[in-house]
Amino acid sequence: MTVPGSVSSSGSAAAASPAVPETEAPAIVRIVESLAQLADDTSVPRNVRRGAQAAKEELSKPRVALDVRIASAVYVLDDLANDPNLPTHGRTAIWSIISSLESFQ
């Protein structure tokens, strides 16, 4: 798993670009990519992967104001970070993503 702002070794950031409007800030695109990586990480519980996917979908809504999308994603991720079954690396990744999102507010 990687942290926001890094590119996976399997390809470039453009090759695995999630459905985020092209006019978005590159940092939001990197955060969505990090959420996609967390959603694909089989070492974290299924509910956390689903929550990461839900946060990614919240950030990808094109007709919703950016601050509302960020607040919705942070709300979802905050609940996930409090899961007692979450491995340490997953919790650290979620905190890193939340921190990156809160820098926009």
pLDDT at residue 22 is higher than 80: no
The DSSP secondary-structure symbol of 11 reads: S
pLDDT for the residue 9: 43
Mean pLDDT of 89-99: 95
- CATH, domain range 26-102: 1.20.1440.50
Structure tokens of 22?
């092209």
Structure tokens of 3?
């942290």
The answer for residues whose C-beta is within 8 angstroms of residue 105's C-beta and 6 or more apart is 67, 70, 71
Mean pLDDT of 18-28: 67
Q: What is the pTM of this model?
A: 0.76
pLDDT per position as a tens digit, 25-61:
888 899 999 999 999 999 999 999 999 999 999 999 9
pLDDT for the residue 18: 46
| Distance from the first to the final alpha carbon of the chain | 26
CB 88 within 8 A of CB 50: no
pLDDT for the residue 26: 84
Q: Which of 62, 93, 69, 61 is nearest to 80 (CA)?
A: 93
pLDDT for the residue 55: 95
